[in-house]
């Protein structure tokens, strides 16, 4: 199975280094020196990581055969893809690969069917489940411990405790105008 582990950003300096947007929880395993990664677009790769280092909180990589800024800049926006055994699990038991979560049924704690996970959206602040409901609409469920209470891979389901308004219209909107009107 192939997993996207990073996206190459802009060139850094003049010696062929690039910044990377890491898309794996295991960069030391997937993006270490000697790792050979396929690419999207395929015509750019495969790429072999020669060196890696962290600079100002960003991971910088240098690939074999890329020695200058022009070569590094030509790699911009390339996706780096690692081959992973489909049965492999992350080290932390509370972590999951996207392919493990796609197609899980989503149900509330009281058994109400919500839909099926069709995509995982990785945002800077948190991940979201994109859940397709039985009527074809989508709902976005934050993948946070307070809302997603259980992931059961054997039963192929994710159990959620949605706050009011997340999957229905139970939310009540309170405003200062309403409170002032009630006092009058």
**Residues near 22 by beta carbon (within 8 Å), at least 6 away in sequence:** 5, 6, 31, 59
Is the predicted pLDDT of residue 35 greater than 90, yes or no? no
Distance CA 41, CA 62 (A): 18
| pLDDT on residue 88 | 67
| Other C-beta atoms lying within 10 Å of the C-beta of residue 38 | 15
**For the segment 112-131, what is each residue's pLDDT rounded down to a tens digit?**
899 999 988 877 788 889 99
Mean pLDDT on 41-47? 87
Q: Do the strands 113-122 and 58-63 form a parallel or antiparallel pair, or are they unpaired?
A: unpaired
Mean pLDDT on 19-35? 81
**Mean model confidence pLDDT for the chain:** 83
Q: Which of 82, 97, 98, 73 is nearest to 8 (CA)?
A: 73
Is the predicted pLDDT of residue 158 greater than 90, yes or no? yes
| pLDDT on residue 116 | 94
| Global confidence as pTM | 0.57
Return the top range by mean pLDDT from 113-127, 141-155, 166-180: 141-155
């Amino acid at each position: 199975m192939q997993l996207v582990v990073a996206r190459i950003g802009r060139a850094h300096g003049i010696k062929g280094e690039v910044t990377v947007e890491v898309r794996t929880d295991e960069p030391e395993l997937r993006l270490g020196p000697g790792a050979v990664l396929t690419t999207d677009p395929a015509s750019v790769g495969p790429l072999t990581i020669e060196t890696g280092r962290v600079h100002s909180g960003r991971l910088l990589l240098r690939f074999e055969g890329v020695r200058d800024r022009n070569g590094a800049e030509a790699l911009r926006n390339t996706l780096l893809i690692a081959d992973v055994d489909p049965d492999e699990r992350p080290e932390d038991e509370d972590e999951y690969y996207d392919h493990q979560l796609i197609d899980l049924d989503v149900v509330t704690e009281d058994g109400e069917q919500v839909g099926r996970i069709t995509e995982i959206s990785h945002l800077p602040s948190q991940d979201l489940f994109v859940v397709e409901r039985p009527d074809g609409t989508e709902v976005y469920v934050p993948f946070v411990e307070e809302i997603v209470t259980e992931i059961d891979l054997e039963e192929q389901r994710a159990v959620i405790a949605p706050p009011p308004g997340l999957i229905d219209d139970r939310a009540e909107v309170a405003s200062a105008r309403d409170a002032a009107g009630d006092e009058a």
